[in-house]
Amino acid sequence: MNKSLLVKFKWQICKEYKKRLKRKSSNSNTFTNRATYRIPTPKEGKLNKKNKQKLPKTKD
Protein backbone atom coordinates (compact mmCIF):
# COMPACT_ATOMS: atom_id res chain seq x y z
CA MET A 1 0.00 0.00 0.00
CA ASN A 2 1.18 3.53 -0.76
CA LYS A 3 2.80 4.96 2.37
CA SER A 4 1.48 8.50 1.96
CA LEU A 5 -2.02 7.12 1.49
CA LEU A 6 -1.70 5.13 4.70
CA VAL A 7 -0.56 8.19 6.65
CA LYS A 8 -3.42 10.23 5.24
CA PHE A 9 -5.88 7.51 6.24
CA LYS A 10 -4.44 7.35 9.77
CA TRP A 11 -4.67 11.11 10.15
CA GLN A 12 -8.31 11.08 9.00
CA ILE A 13 -9.18 8.48 11.63
CA CYS A 14 -7.34 10.47 14.29
CA LYS A 15 -9.22 13.66 13.43
CA GLU A 16 -12.55 11.86 13.43
CA TYR A 17 -11.79 10.19 16.77
CA LYS A 18 -10.80 13.48 18.42
CA LYS A 19 -14.00 15.10 17.17
CA ARG A 20 -16.07 12.34 18.75
CA LEU A 21 -14.10 12.51 21.99
CA LYS A 22 -14.77 16.24 22.23
CA ARG A 23 -18.46 15.68 21.71
CA LYS A 24 -18.57 13.00 24.39
CA SER A 25 -16.33 14.66 27.01
CA SER A 26 -19.15 16.91 28.27
CA ASN A 27 -21.18 13.85 29.28
CA SER A 28 -18.53 11.37 30.36
CA ASN A 29 -20.83 8.74 31.84
CA THR A 30 -22.25 7.87 28.42
CA PHE A 31 -18.75 7.26 27.07
CA THR A 32 -18.70 3.55 26.31
CA ASN A 33 -16.88 1.42 23.77
CA ARG A 34 -19.82 1.81 21.43
CA ALA A 35 -19.67 5.60 21.62
CA THR A 36 -16.18 5.69 20.10
CA TYR A 37 -17.49 4.11 16.91
CA ARG A 38 -20.96 5.58 16.59
CA ILE A 39 -22.24 9.01 17.57
CA PRO A 40 -25.79 8.66 18.90
CA THR A 41 -28.40 10.71 17.10
CA PRO A 42 -30.03 13.58 19.03
CA LYS A 43 -33.22 11.53 19.33
CA GLU A 44 -31.30 8.70 20.99
CA GLY A 45 -29.73 11.15 23.41
CA LYS A 46 -33.15 12.40 24.49
CA LEU A 47 -34.33 8.85 25.07
CA ASN A 48 -31.29 8.14 27.23
CA LYS A 49 -31.99 11.20 29.39
CA LYS A 50 -35.61 10.14 29.90
CA ASN A 51 -34.55 6.64 30.91
CA LYS A 52 -32.08 8.03 33.45
CA GLN A 53 -34.81 10.02 35.17
CA LYS A 54 -37.01 6.92 35.44
CA LEU A 55 -34.46 5.09 37.61
CA PRO A 56 -35.96 4.40 41.07
CA LYS A 57 -34.45 6.41 43.90
CA THR A 58 -32.81 4.28 46.59
CA LYS A 59 -33.82 4.96 50.19
CA ASP A 60 -30.86 5.27 52.52
Mean pLDDT of 21-43: 55
pLDDT at 57: 63
Confidence of residue 10 (pLDDT cuts 50, 70, 90): confident
Which residues are CB-neighbours of 46 under 8 A, at least 6 positions away? none
Residue 29's nearest CA partner among 45, 42, 13 is 45
Residue 20's nearest CA partner among 2, 37, 43 is 37
pLDDT at 6: 74
**Residue 46: pLDDT over 70:** no
Alpha-carbon gap, residue 39 to 20, rounded angstroms: 7
What does the domain layout of the chain look like in residue ranges? 3-47
